[in-house]
Amino acid sequence: MHAEIIDDAAALEPLRPTWDGLAAAAGLPMATSAWALGWWRHMRPERSLLRVVVVRAGAEVVAIAPYFVQDTAAARIDYRLLGSGFATPLSPLACPAVAWQAAAALAGALATARPAPDMVTFEGLPLSSPWPAMVRERWPGLLRPTAFRPWILSAPTVSLEHCSFAAWFATRSANFRSQMRRGTRDLERAGGQVRASTPASLGDDLEALFRLHAGRWEGRGRSALVPAADALRGLFADLGREQVACGRLRLQVVEVEGAPISVQLFANDGDAIVYWNGGWDERYAKLRPAMLGILAEVEAGIADAARVLSLGGGAQGYKLRFADGSEPLEWGHLLVPRARAAAIGARMIPASTFTVARRLAQRGLTDEQRERLRALRRRLRRTA
């Protein structure tokens, strides 16, 4: 078994069917070649270098680890998975039967890669994944990388393995069923409907998503999607109408009298569905448009015989109304044993501790307390 590092996106084109097959087998629709390479073309950080590790057994590709190199502001060389910070879940991909052997080839390739990595990251990886441990254990040489896991995030899931939508709906609480029926009736009375995007409506629906998402975040802090809207337009132009036509990309649009009030985007590999992001108009909060959009995706997923819908990282209340399980995500790093590893590790610990403390503090705040802090921050910025 041997590995090579590919640094030219064009050289990856012949590997895309195998790449997508490995992603589908792992149940990771946002780890496919379309998402990863589209992100690379339109959203990669400045001064990034492509470093996709391809592992072969003879002539057969058995693993693909789509990394890129990022030279951080701290002069640290990070090897990150394509799409890190944008999509979850992500992971190196391999045939399960040979994953352990493939991890040795992957670790050997990373250990000798140029530029030499200080850090190998696994951001938004399924917590159940063995990849960080396998890469660490198969790292060549006497010293092993040091593992950091600064954050674990709940990701609620909905099992779609039901004979019909009605059968799934019957498993939900009486209160949930009543609210969803009432929301549907109220939407219809308001002249509204829920519909899925078509290839013809994709462009307008994406623009509505960007607009609604930006409006939802206005005055509430920072969303990474808002400044990246132009890059996202390019990415979705690449994914485009073909992905929508075959059901691999689906937008659930809730509209009133033809005007979108909620748009949510889902990626689908035929077995697993992942909620990526969305936005909705708070003026229509009583209609529960975001929940109606998820409800429509559950119905569509069951009709497509999908296995599971992941609602993405974060245990927000509206997600928990649907969830019957969880597949947590981890943000982990391997600090490579190099001469400057001790200094890099010393700089990481305070930052990681602050991040964890901040997030734990935020989890303990009520919505009202969070809004007060946001208002205070806005006042301080205006007077600065």
DSSP assignment letter at 133: H
Residue with tokens 């030219």: 8
Residue 319 neighbours by CB under 8 Å, 6+ apart: 156, 311, 312
Q: Are residues 11 and 81 in the same domain?
A: yes
Would residue 110 count as lying in a domain? yes
Same domain, 162 and 270: yes
Residue 344 covered by a domain:
yes
- 205, part of any domain: yes
Q: Measuring CA to CA, which residue among 142, 139, 52 is closest to residue 334?
A: 139
pLDDT of residue 356: 45
Spatial separation of the C-alpha atoms in residues 231 and 330, rounded to whole Å: 26
pLDDT for residue 379: 62
What does the pLDDT read at residue 22?
A: 97
Q: Are residues 192 and 114 in the same domain?
A: no
* 131, 248: one domain: no
Q: What is the CATH number of the domain that holds 194?
A: 3.40.630.30
| Residue 277 domain-assigned (yes or no) | yes
Whether pTM > 0.85 for this model: the answer is yes
Same domain, 300 and 179: yes
Which pLDDT belongs to residue 378?
58
Shared domain for 125 and 190, answered yes or no, is no
Structural domain that includes position 92? 2-153+328-363
User: Do residues 11 and 114 both lie within one domain?
Assistant: yes
Final residue before a domain boundary, out of 267, 285, 311: 311
Question: What CATH number is attached to the domain comprising 18?
Answer: 3.40.630
- Cα 363 from Cα 343, distance rounded (Å): 31
Nearest CA to 292 among 262, 315, 266?
A: 262
- Tell me the three state secondary structure of residue 150: strand
Is residue 242 assigned to a domain? yes
Quick one: 142 and 36 in the same domain?
yes
On the CB side of 273, CA atoms within 13 Å amount to 32
Q: Is residue 81 part of a domain?
A: yes
pLDDT tens digits in sequence order for the chain, 384 residues long = 999 999 999 999 999 999 999 999 999 999 999 999 999 999 999 989 999 999 999 999 999 999 999 876 567 899 999 999 999 999 999 999 999 999 999 999 999 999 999 999 999 999 999 999 999 999 999 999 999 988 999 999 999 999 999 999 999 999 999 999 999 999 999 999 999 999 999 999 999 999 999 998 887 777 888 888 899 999 998 888 778 888 899 999 999 999 999 999 999 999 999 999 999 999 999 999 999 999 999 999 999 999 999 999 999 999 999 999 999 999 999 999 987 877 777 776 555 544 444 444 444 555 566 566 666 655 655 554
**Same structural domain for residues 140 and 30?**
yes
Go through the chain and tell me how many residues it has: 384
Residue 217 forms part of a structural domain:
yes
Query: CB–CB of 335/121 below 8 Å?
Result: no
SS (H, E, C) 289-358: HHHHHHHHHHHHHHHCCCCEEECCCCCCHHHHHHCCEECCEEEEEEECCCCCHHHHHHHHHHHHHHHHHH
Query: Domain count of the chain?
Result: 2
Residues 253, 307: one domain?
yes
Q: How far is CA 257 from the centre of its chain?
A: 32
| Domain identity same for 166 and 252 | yes
**Torsion region of 341: left, alpha or beta (phi above 0 gives left; psi -120 to 50 gives alpha):** alpha
- pLDDT at residue number 246: 85
Domain-located, residue 121: yes
Domain co-membership, 49 together with 146: yes
